[in-house]
Amino acid sequence: MSQLTHFDNDGNAVMVDVSAKLESHRKATACATVVMQTETMKLILDKGVKKGDVLSVARLAGIMGAKKTPELIPLCHPLALSSVEILLTCDRNTNSIEIISNCKVTGPTGVEMEALTAVSIAALTVYDMCKAVDRGMRITNIRLTSKSGGKSGDWIED
């Protein structure tokens, strides 16, 4: 009925059986941007946000988010992640924080959802920690930027 892998022939949602797939080294990178007011960026850089060090907490939250992906996204396989890296870069010119996640695993299925969850949770954490001073922050451009490994091979965003 469907070419989507998470549905059976009757249209029922199912977890994909990956037991016959070969293990391979897999990596996925995702990014997101949080746009804010100039004053908010200054508070973050000066470590003046009352809730604490925004960048450090967001980094930790992103790592935790990647690890919790199968609890948050239905039908995601639990993975033994070998690495989760979260990079946060502040740009004073655009009053934005670019968040990049790099996730790695050796296994039968990819880590794209973990990478996307990581940047999403990190961005939400930035918002949560700064919302008292800037409710107009925008979380934008969440996307997968690359993946490697597995049967489908490598993919890089155009």
Question: Which residues form the catalytic set?
Answer: 128
| DSSP-derived secondary structure for the chain | --S-TTB-TTS-B-----TTSPPEEEEEEEEEEEE--HHHHHHHHTT--TT--HHHHHHHHHHHHHHTHHHHSTTPPP---SEEEEEEEEETTTTEEEEEEEEEEEESS--HHHHHHHHHHHHHHHHHHHTTT-TT-EEEEEEEEEEE-STT--EE--
